[in-house]
Amino acid sequence: MQHISLTVDDGIAVITLDRPDKLNAFTTIMENELIEAFNITDADDSVRAVILTGAGRAFCAGADLSSGPDTFTEWSAEQNEAEASSAGERRDGGGRVVLRMFDSLKPIIAAINGPAVGVGITMTLAADFRLAADDARMGFVFNRRGLVPESCSSWLLPKLVPLQRALDWIYSGRIFPATEAHAAGLVYQLYSADDLLGEAIALARSLTRHSAPVSVALSRQMVWRLLGAPHPMVAHRIESIGINARGSQEDVREGISAFLGKRDANFPDRCSDAMPDLFSEHLPRPQW
């Protein structure tokens, strides 16, 4: 890893955007490394949750603009077969990262430790929770740069905050404080910068300590994928498949036995080999 770091400690993975001298500005290298990091955390059954944060005083200052006015002309011209769309255009890199996060088997917490603008804020929209330092500042600055929203934010943001607030932030491109993001519901909790990572780890443990990993993974994908379902019948069908599939697996026997025995459960099923397919008949798989 060149532009990020990945550590795992006692079931919690921490992915850190690691270009502190550049305020963790987003690069193609970072894009590909983030996708690989989420591949790693999904494949590691010891990982129960993932925290995404930044090194130094910023979370992410947006795209690396060191090429100046030609930044996006050069970016579009980069040859990367994995990022090519069917029309031959380069796919949005932040979007590829967000689609990979959307598909994650593990809950994701974004710990926004400082400024988060452009892709620096849009990449967090696929996290299950956003915690922020109380002095952090954010901005969907694309219109002020002549660009448009990216990282699937035109789909995600209006699902996370009221439509008029989303449009205010998008149209104006203004920088706003974490307190405003918290009031609008974009940020779950605010903490001092010194306490932020510890609080993110504590939240990750509280979310996963007593729950079956396979059930958490399935629940995460059910909630996220069903955000765009056209009718509750789609949810009913998928939930029915899930209840039937999980009901015959060892986790349920253990969960009920532990409840009746008034003890903590020790769930045996693992995401690597016990994930039933709930979605293939009803919902497409993201192509990240």
Whether the CB-CB separation of 126 and 109 falls below 8 Å is answered with: no
Q: What is the pLDDT of residue 81?
A: 46
Residues 204-236: tens digit of each pLDDT: 999 999 999 999 999 999 999 999 999 999 999
- Confidence check: pLDDT of 70 > 70: no
More confident residue, 236 or 69: 236
- Confidence check: pLDDT of 75 > 70: no
More confident residue, 281 or 268: 268
Local structure of 192: helix, strand or coil? coil
Is residue 266 exposed (0-12), middle (13-18) or buried (19+ Cβ within 10 Å)? exposed
Q: Which residue has the tokens 């989420």?
A: 38
Q: Which residue has the tokens 């932030």?
A: 169
Residues 42-51: tens digit of each pLDDT: 999 999 999 9
Q: What is the pLDDT of residue 89?
A: 78
Q: Which of 102, 3, 145, 121 is nearest to 60 (CA)?
A: 121
Residue-averaged pLDDT of the chain = 93
Residues 109-131: tens digit of each pLDDT: 999 999 999 999 999 999 999 99
- Confidence check: pLDDT of 239 > 50: yes
- Confidence check: pLDDT of 55 > 80: yes
Distance (Å) of CA 45 to CA 98, 148, 268: 22, 38, 11
Strands 12-17 and 4-9: antiparallel
For residue 42, the surrounding DSSP H or E stretch is helix 28-43
Structure pTM?
A: 0.93
